[in-house]
Amino acid sequence: MTHLTRLPAPDGVAPAAQYTRAVTGTGRLVAVSGRLPPDEDGGIAGEGDAGARARQVLENPERCPAAAGATFDDVMKPACCVTDTAHGPAVRAARAEHLPDGRLPAASAVQVAGLVRPEFPLEVEALAVVDA
């Protein structure tokens, strides 16, 4: 049986706004490779719309863990790379649609100079835990 324990604010550490400081889990680890925001046909989703791209990039990794029997409830740590921090609000809004406050994962977000496909401004990878 899968079990995730979220530690939002260990002693001496302030709580975070949209993520949990640490998450532990039991079960089988699922690593999801970095996902870009192309649509299912490989086209550019939401061209010029940071919100649409952020929603798509989160839907892509949602489909990948599903192939291993995982859902967003099983995600213990997503990592987001953006080429422009101006996309931050759109990414946070899209994350909030998938990750309600009651089950926030540990998380990372970094700004990078570029991604493997320059037409995409963000990429997300994730670690999940499912039943062994």
- Pick the range with the lowest mean pLDDT from 8-22, 23-37, 90-104, 118-132: 90-104
Name the 3-class secondary structure at 67.
Answer: helix
CB-based contacts of 64: which residues, under 8 Å, 6+ apart? 32, 33, 35
On the question of pLDDT at 19 being above 80, the answer is yes
Q: Are strands 3-7 and 75-82 parallel, antiparallel or unpaired?
A: unpaired
Task: Please check whether residue 94 is in contact with residue 56, taking contact to mean a CB–CB distance below 8 angstroms.
Answer: no
Summarize pLDDT for 71-121 with one digit per residue, the tens.
878 888 989 899 999 988 888 888 888 776 677 889 999 999 999 888 888
Summarize pLDDT for 44-75 with one digit per residue, the tens.
777 777 787 777 777 765 677 778 888 878 88
Phi-psi region of 50 (alpha: psi -120 to 50; beta: other; left: phi over 0): alpha
Consecutive H or E run containing 7? strand 3-7
pTM of the predicted structure, to 2 decimals: 0.79
